[in-house]
Structure 1
Amino acid sequence: MGNLMEPSSASVYDGNLASDRVVIHVTSHQRIDQQILVKWRTKTFIARIVEDQEEWIPQFLTQAANFCGENVSRGSPKGSLGSGTTLRFWIDTWLEDKPFYLLFPDLFKLESYKGCLVKDRCTGGGEFSQWEWSWIRPPSTPMEIQQLLTMLTKIQNVTLSNQDDSWRWNADSSSCFTVKSMRIRLQNASYGPTHWVFPWNKFAPHKVNVLGWRIKMNRIATADQLAKRNISTTLSLCPICKAQNETAEHLFLLCPFVDYLWSFILSWCRVSTQKPCNLKDLMEVHQKANLNHWTQKLFQHVILSYIWVIWKTRNDSIFLTKNPSLRRAIKDLKGTSFFWLATRSNIPDLNWEKWRTFSF
Structure 2
Amino acid sequence: MVFMVVNHDDVVDGVRSCCIEYDDDVLTLPKDEGGLGISKLSDVNSSLLLKWAWRFKIQQGSLWRNVIEAIHGGRNMWMFLPLNRSLTGCWKNLVSSINQMQIGGKQVEWYFKGKPGDGVYLRFWKDRWLGDTLFKDRWPRLYSLESNKNCSISDRISHSGTAFLLGPGWNVWPSTVEEISEMNDVNYMLNNIRFVGSKDVWKWDEEGSNHFSVANVKRMIRLDRNNNMTHLFKWESWIPLKINIHLWRAEMGRIPTRLALQRRQIVISSTICVLCDVNDEDCNHIFFHCGFAFGVWSIIRRWCKLDYVSFDDMEGLLKFYKHIQGPKWAKKLIRGIVMTTCWAIWNARNKKVFDNVSPKVQEVVALVKSLSFLWIKNRSKFKSVLWKD
Shorter-chain TM-score bucket reads 0.3 to 0.5
Higher Rg = 1
Higher RCO (Cα < 8 Å, 6 or more apart): 1
How does the TM-score come out when normalised to structure 1? 0.47
